[in-house]
Structures are given as structure tokens and as C-alpha cells.
Amino acid sequence: PSRPRPKVILVIGGPGSGKGTQCLKIAERYGFQYVSVGELLRKKMIHNATSNRKWSLIAKIITNGELAPQETTITEIKQKIMKIPEASGIVIDGFPRDVGQALSFEDQICTPDLVVFLACTNHRLKERLQKRAEQQGRPDDNPKAIDRRLTNFKQNTIPLVKYFQERGLIVTLDADRDEEEVFCDISMTLDNKLF
């Protein structure tokens, strides 16, 4: 008999809401494969920006805190997922960013089993990103790009969350709290909804 398709969980939320942090915890606890769309794009752009015109443009877009073209993003996700050997689940970090991407993902890949929205106040998002900028230095952790990421997020999120709400696919969690508290809610939700 053929294997059931892996469960697909999308984790969305503002920049600094803890998507990466929580997705890694999910992957560890449930043995799911982890896909960070931001990381996928950053790696590809670093690799190709000097030799390829398309990617040098995308590098500029991302470094400015804007969204990469939808079709490129979907293609990257598809390629990545196809390389995953076998898994009971896949947790996708930071995708989709707007309704258009959500529709395209469903068209070309699948309907997600669950979407987790990490809701965080603007104040907290800024605070966390500033702190991380001092410690790490991601190309888009500069004040201007942080502002753009926050603005884009605000513009796109309400319609996106509404879209998933109407289809009964999304759970919104308070992500202002500390990591462990947030994860406790996430794992209760996953236990309830997926198994």
C-alpha cells in the first residue's frame, strides 16, 4: 500500500514572532522535516547573486525587506519538498506571506493540514529583532529593512489569516510569551488537531 502523504504544517507570524525558534522545536518533538522559506531564499541568493541576474535582483529585494517573486518562492519550496526522502510531517517556516501565495501553494503543492499563526505585538517584534541584529547580523536585520518587513507583514496578514480562518485551518496563539509557554500551546494544538 502507498504511504499516506506527510502532514503539512505552515507557521506564519511577523518578523521576530519566533517562527524559526518554534518550528525547530516542532521538528524535534514530532520528528517532522523543517523547511525555512526565508533561509532557503537567503542561501540561494548568497550562492547565486554574483553570477545570476535574477538572483542578484532577488538578493536586493530580500535585503530591503521586501518579498521575493511568488513563482520563484513556490518553485524553491517544491524542489525542497521533493528532496525530502520520507517524513510523517513537514513544518514550513515563514510561508505564505499573502493570500496569493496561499492560493498558489494549494494549487501547486497541497492544502495544509494546519496553519499556526504566532501573534505578537509590534513592540515585542521590534525588541526581539533589534536584539538579534546586535548578536547575529542577518542582511535584512537593519533598521530600514526591519521596518519594511513589519509594514509588509501588517498589510498582508489580516487578509491571509482571514482566508485560512474561513476554511477552518488556522490556530492563532499568543506569541508574546516566553518560548516554552508558546511551545506548550503549539504542542497541545498539534496533538489535538493532527493526531
Among 34, 35, 59, 65, binds ligand UP5 (CB under 6 A): 65
Q: How many CB atoms lie within 10 A of CB 109?
A: 14
Residues 91-110 that bind ligand UP5 (CB under 6 A): 94-95, 97
List, in order, residues 6 or more apart from 187 with CB less than 8 Å away.
Answer: 26, 29
* 3-class state of residue 117 by DSSP: strand
Among 48, 132, 169, 193, binds ligand UP5 (CB under 6 A): 132
80: which 3 cell numbers?
525542497
Please state, in angstroms and rounded to a whole number, the distance separating the CA atoms of residues 144 and 63.
Answer: 10
Helix (H) / strand (E) element for 163: namely helix 143-166
Please state, in angstroms and rounded to a whole number, the distance separating the CA atoms of residues 16 and 46.
Answer: 22
* Residue 139 contacts Mg ion per CB under 5 A: no
Contact 89, 7 (CB under 8 A): yes
* Residue 18 contacts ligand UP5 per CB under 6 A: yes
Among 6, 9, 16, 87, binds ligand UP5 (CB under 6 A): 16
Q: How many residues line the site for ligand UP5 (CB under 6 A)?
A: 27
* Residue 34 contacts ligand UP5 per CB under 6 A: no
72: which 3 cell numbers?
520563484
* Residue 67 contacts ligand UP5 per CB under 6 A: yes
* Residue 17 contacts ligand UP5 per CB under 6 A: yes
Give the interface with Mg ion as residue ranges (CB under 5 A).
19-20
Give the interface with ligand UP5 as residue ranges (CB under 6 A).
13, 15-21, 37-38, 41, 62, 65-68, 73, 94-95, 97, 128, 132, 140, 149, 178-179, 182
